Structure 1
Amino acid sequence: MENTFIDRTFRDSEGKIVIAQMPNLPLSVGIVATLLTLIITTGQINLGLQLVAFGSLFTWAWQELFQGVNYFRRALGLIGLVGIIAWALQ
């Protein structure tokens, strides 16, 4: 198989195209915690949920950035990392 930029961007080491995959644990926890912050909007529980959401989404983005299977997944991790840091700085 020819190793073009498009191949490195969208294919994994086995040659399969990988754009989306099942959410891993940090992403699942981050999504659930974020949704719960929309339901529980005040108090210590909300603060705890915000911290859990930030920490788990940060972990997911960091893992994608440095261990992503292709350039697309790594770019997704970078965009996610910048996005959650900007969200936290609001």
Structure 2
Amino acid sequence: MQDISDKEKGAWLPLLEYAVTKGMSLSTLRRRIKANKIQFQLREGKYFIYDDGSFPLEDPQKVISDLKEQVADLKTLVQVLESKQRA
């Protein structure tokens, strides 16, 4: 998206590290990247997201929606792992 300037404070974090730091799902971050709603860079096929250290407040309904999505992702993962275990 944009190069970082010397005046900006913060760091470019790999997608997974940013997700863990901010408590967000990878799916949510990928959707925001696709919609160009978050500052990112693509380096050698890997996404990096700019972290200015702040924790922006989100709409509670959005947080609930994101959590429901995470639950759905985890349920899918459990189903996949259970089916592999049976095989």
With normalisation by structure 2, the TM-score equals 0.32
Structure with the larger helix share: 1
Structure with the larger strand share: 2
